[in-house]
Structure 1
Amino acid sequence: MLQTEIFDKNVEAYEHWYEEYPEVYQSEIDAIREQLQKLPENIRGIEVGLGTGRFALPLGIKEGVEPSEAMAKKAINRGIEVIDGTAERLPYGDLHFDFVLFVTICHLENMKNALAEAHRVLKHKGCVIIAFLDKDQSVAKQYIEKRHRSTFFAKANFYTVDRIQRLLKEFGFKDLEFNQTLFGDLDTIKEVQLPKQGFGEGSFVVVKATKK
């Protein structure tokens, strides 16, 4: 993943964002949870690039991968089992998990390698869930416009829904299901928003896809 050193040195700034935008954060959690609830109960999954555990914890994900030592320490303190590793080289065997969650794809070094690895560690008919800021919508456009003065997004790679669809199909995933949230700019969102099916309106998109 890109910028590991930046994340190591700016953990408190990272944590502060969630306190500054609680309604945005909860809206994102609810959209991801809606996709996770479609999966069977009592299954095993991981979050890749789990940061300080801000998503894994409320979503009930007990383990995952994080390359930033400082971020991982926070996640461990939150009760999450963290393994040092990257999305492009997951430290797990083949056919290991029922689902893999990504919430930080804009910071991945190589999206294609990450999807290939997710496919490898998933069991047959396992699911990948990707939550991302749609490059075509307002929040990603804000970050791109201000990236020259951003700590975390200076080198971020944002993706369109079309690009994610093509990559998922290219790497052996099918039955794509989308939902979306964050309708409006960050500073205008003062209430938790219910996710809607599909994409094209909300800035935060979640897609669930099944391994062929």
Structure 2
Amino acid sequence: MPVVEPFEDHTDRYDRWFETHEAAYESELAAVRAPLPTIEPDRAVEVGVGSGQFAAPLDVGLGVDPSPAMLRRARDRGVTPIQGVAESLPLRDDSVSTVVLVTTICFVDDVERTLAEAHRVLGPGGTLAVGFVARDGPLGERYREKQCSNPFYQDATFVAVPDLLDAMAAAGFVDWAALQTLFSDPASMDLPDPVREGWGDGSFVVVSGRVPD
């Protein structure tokens, strides 16, 4: 079952995180933007769009999410809302050129099915970018320690970067790459952190891949 209740009940709290951690948010946004091609808004979708905090500034025009409350916020930010889940996207085959998931992969019921669906809806040469708090990064370890007390992460399954890369390869994606940021504590950041290649030092990682031409 999709994780919906905490996002329905704590929508304002979700949005406040981005307001009170602006430098961390800008760092994450830059990392997600880096591997993306030129966006065609009506052919780009964020899966697990939440309130549109990433889709809107990235010019991603479509947003899929199971939470009606979050979709209303995304719509207010100019994103076309589509209610649905990652494992069964309500989109046609080969209908988009860009799929983005940000802090979503840890909430899906089936990672392999999610990646298969992203591959299905992407046309040849299409790009997938998955941004997430890495399981073994400093922030991932802290979130796991306090998981029971955080309404958003109580039901999360944090993912390790090598496992996700293996799953992307199995789903048929090629040209994989990884970028990382958040080398500092988000609560103490005054300026955005840089975006660097690889993983292991930064808490937030973006793994990208491409559907073969």
Instruction: Tell me the TM-score range normalised by the shorter chain.
Output: over 0.9
**Deviation of 1:106 (Å):** 1.1
**Deviation of 1:40 (Å):** 4.2
TM-score in terms of structure 2 length = 0.94
Root-mean-square deviation (CA), in Å? 1.3
Give the match for residue 114 of structure 2.
114
**Deviation of 1:64 (Å):** 1.7
Give the match for residue 7 of structure 1.
7
Give the match for residue 71 of structure 1.
70
**Deviation of 1:187 (Å):** 2.4
Deviations 1:115-172 (A, max 9, x none): 1100110101211111111111100111100011111001111111100110000110
Residue 160 of structure 1 pairs with residue 160 of structure 2: yes
Contact 1:138–1:184 (CA<8 Å) still a contact in 2? no
**Deviation of 1:71 (Å):** 0.7
**Deviation of 1:15 (Å):** 0.9
Contact 1:182–1:189 (CA<8 Å) still a contact in 2? no
**Deviation of 1:189 (Å):** 2.4
Q: Which runs of 4+ in 1 moved over 3 A?
A: 40-43
**Deviation of 1:109 (Å):** 1.6
Amino acid at match of 1:202: G
Give distance in 2, aligned partners of 1:71 and 1:41.
Answer: 23
Q: 1:68-147, aligned counterparts within 5 Å?
A: 68-103=67-102, 104-147=104-147
Give the match for residue 29 of structure 2.
29
Give distance in 1, aligned partners of 2:60 and 2:69.
Answer: 19
Give the match for residue 51 of structure 1.
50
Give the match for residue 205 of structure 2.
205
Q: How many residues align?
A: 210
**Deviation of 1:9 (Å):** 1.1
Give distance in 2, aligned partners of 1:78 and 1:41.
Answer: 17
Amino acid at match of 1:121: V
**Deviation of 1:186 (Å):** 2.5
Query: Where does structure 1 lack aligned partners over 5 or more consecutive residues?
Result: none
Give distance in 2, aligned partners of 1:42 and 1:171.
Answer: 24
Change in CA separation of 1:66 and 1:42 when aligned onto 2, cut-off 3 Å? closer
Amino acid at match of 1:79: G
Give distance in 1, aligned partners of 2:78 and 2:124.
Answer: 29
Change in CA separation of 1:160 and 1:19 when aligned onto 2, cut-off 3 Å? same
Give the match for residue 151 of structure 2.
151
**Deviation of 1:41 (Å):** 5.5
Contact 1:94–1:120 (CA<8 Å) still a contact in 2? yes
Give distance in 2, aligned partners of 1:134 and 1:121.
Answer: 26
Moved more, 2-11 or 185-194: 185-194
Query: Where does structure 2 lack aligned partners over 5 or more consecutive residues?
Result: none
Give distance in 2, aligned partners of 1:33 and 1:73.
Answer: 24
Contact 1:31–1:181 (CA<8 Å) still a contact in 2? yes
Contact 2:184–2:193 (CA<8 Å) still a contact in 1? no
Give distance in 1, aligned partners of 2:2 and 2:139.
Answer: 21
**Deviation of 1:35 (Å):** 1.3
